[in-house]
Chains A and B, each alone.
Chain A
Amino acid sequence: MKNKLLELINEILENSDRETISILDEEASLRNDIGFDSIDLAVLTVNIENVFKVDIFEAGMPDTIKDVLERLEK
Chain B
Amino acid sequence: MADRRATNRAMFWRIIRRLFGANRGRLFVMLLALGAGAAVTAALLNLQVDAKRRLTSEFRRFGPNVLVLPQNSSQFRTETLPESIVHSVPVNLQSGRVVVTSHLYLVARLSPAGPGESFSAVVAGANPLAYLVGAVSSSSRFPGTPPVIPPATGHECVVGTNVARQLKAEQGTDFSVSNVDRREVCHVASFRQTGGPEDDRVEIGLRAAQRLADLPGRISAVELIVPGTPSEVQTYIKDLQRALPDADVRPIRQFTEAQAKIYDRINGLLTATVGIVLLLTGLCVMAAMTNVAMERRMDVGLMKAIGGSMRRVLRLFLAEAALLGLAGGMIGAAAGILLSIGLGKAVFGVAARPRLIVYPVAVALTVIVAILSAFPLRRLASIRPASVFRGEA
Report if A and B associate in a common complex.
no
